[in-house]
Chain A
Amino acid sequence: MAGGPGLRRFFEDENMATNTITVSETPLVLYALRRADDSLILGHRLSEWCGHAPTLEEDMALANIGLDLIGQARSLYGYAAEVEPREDGRSANDEDGYAYFRDAGQYRNLLLCEQPNRDFACTMVRQFFYSAFTDPYWRAMTSSSDPTLAAVAAKSEKESAYHLRHAAEWLIRLGDGTEESHARTQRAVDALWSFTGELFDADDAEDSLVADRLVVHPSAFRDIWSDTVDVGFARAGLRRPDGAWMQRGGRGGRHSEHLGPLLAEMQHLQRSHPGARW
């Protein structure tokens, strides 16, 4: 395993099993956690670039985009904590609880968001696919019948618009750049394509929220996402993969092998020293 002996020790730590939280996943809690997890996990991935990006400007850009996403996650976790039903005597979950004290199987993020950074092209293609969805999605969510979700959406849609533009410009620069940058970008597109189907999925829990006009069905954004992707690909000289088979599972807690090591790193300090502050 990539994490080596340190990681094994972490998983064997008895405390880890005992301080994992339980969550009452009502449809609304599940919804908030899914979107928050997308933002947190992708934001964490972007933070891994800090100090490693190809230029100083990009180092700042990736850190700032990551910060926006982690901020969105905080708002959504805060909301989940407000709406999660509490049994007598049980203390409520909070932002940090959701982030640091859930295991991989309790995470509800898209598989796309947890895919590793690999190279800069792969990071930008992942961001482009994700932001091409969240940009119109959050814009539509500003008319949610829930004032908190509408307010989170109002912030997120503006941020997503910048994230999308940044990623789209890089997609074009890389796809339409040198032979090597083109090859790497096309390779990233081919590798990540099968993770894009999950963007548009919803289950019974989410359908019930759609019926109450709390949320918008993600499948409503398939066409606009597809258009954005085609425009970007055409300008970048990239080929849309033919494969129609899509990987699924993140929304239900079935993740790729990449999430575990990410959580191990992200949660290590809080798991070892619960409640540590500095």
Chain B
Amino acid sequence: MSMGADLELRARVVEVLQDVVDPEIPVLSIGDLGVLRDVTVRDGTVEVAITPTYSGCPAMDMITLEIEIALARSGIGNARVRTVLSPAWTTDWMTEEGRRKLKEYGVAPPVVGAGRRALFGKDEVDCPRCGSGDTGLIAEFGSTSCKALWRCHSCREPFDYFKCH
């Protein structure tokens, strides 16, 4: 297969992958999340590289399967998904678009560049519903390992916070 055909196929793969979402946060595509690292096509063989968000993220097997299904449905059968560990994913890889979608979905996006905080320090997280900064942590570990449970003292609603990693 020619190089031109490979490039064309790659463009199709990238387009198909835009519809593959994180099963735990279905408004985010794997591109928005920063989990999709690379797409290579050589002689008609597709390789998709993804990176896990958290060591124990149970969504990774599901994401792998969804990628394979999405490609197969589009008639792209000669594909494999590879998991790469290095460099390690961080929440800073989430796109602007991803952060916006997350907030609309009702999940407070990770604070950019916040990194690790002191042992007894406090994060400052704005409420995704009303924007108030008057919020407090309910539980460090929420519905999934990437989220903490917070509450807003202004609008009184509980909300998920996508933790910095």
Binding site for B on A (CB under 8 A): 57, 60-61, 64-72, 74-75, 147-148, 150-152, 154-159, 161-162, 164-166, 168-169, 228, 231
A75 pairs with B55, CB closer than 8 A: yes
- When chains A and B are docked, how far (Å) is the Cα of A150 from the Cα of B85? 9
* Known A157-B116, A158-B90; further 15 A-B contacts with Cβ < 8 A: A57-B141, A57-B149, A67-B56, A68-B54, A70-B56, A71-B54, A71-B55, A72-B56, A150-B86, A155-B89, A155-B165, A159-B54, A159-B165, A161-B116, A162-B140
Q: Is the CB of A158 within 8 A of B116?
A: yes
The smallest beta-carbon distance between A45 and chain B, in angstroms, is 15
| Cβ–Cβ contact A154 & B116, under 8 A | no
Interface of A is mostly: helix
What separation, in Å, do the CA atoms of A105 and B121 have in the docked complex? 42
Taking a contact as CB atoms closer than 8 A, the residue among A64, A70, A75 that contacts B144 in the complex is A64
Q: Which residues of B contact A155 (CB under 8 A)?
A: 52, 54-55, 85, 88-89, 165
Q: Is the CB of A67 within 8 A of B86?
A: no
Question: Can you list the 6 inter-chain pairs with the closest CB atoms, starting with the nearest?
Answer: A71-B56, A71-B55, A154-B88, A151-B86, A67-B56, A61-B141
Interface size class of B (residues with CB under 8 A): 20 to 34
Report whether A168 and B120 are in contact in the complex, using a CB–CB cutoff of 8 Å: yes
How far does the alpha carbon of A69 sit from the alpha carbon of B54 in the complex, in Å?
Answer: 10
Whether A68 contacts B145 by the Cβ 8 Å rule is yes
Residue of B nearest to A62 (CB): B141
Chain A residues with CB under 8 A of B87: 151, 154
Which residues of chain A are within 8 angstroms of B57 by Cβ–Cβ distance?
71
Q: Which of B86, B89, B90 contacts A148 (CB 8 A)?
A: B86
Contacts of A70 in B (CB 8 A): 56
Partner of B163, one of A147, A162, A228: A162
**Are the C-beta atoms of B119 and A67 separated by less than 8 Å?**
no
Let me know if A69 and B141 touch, CB within 8 A.
no
Given contacts A61-B139, A151-B86, A162-B163, contact A68 B56 (CB under 8 A): yes
* Cα–Cα distance between A48 and B86 once the two chains are bound (Å): 32
B143 interface contact, C-beta 8 A: yes
* Inter-subunit contact B119/A228 (CB<8 Å): yes
- Chain B residues near A150 (CB, 8 Å)? 86
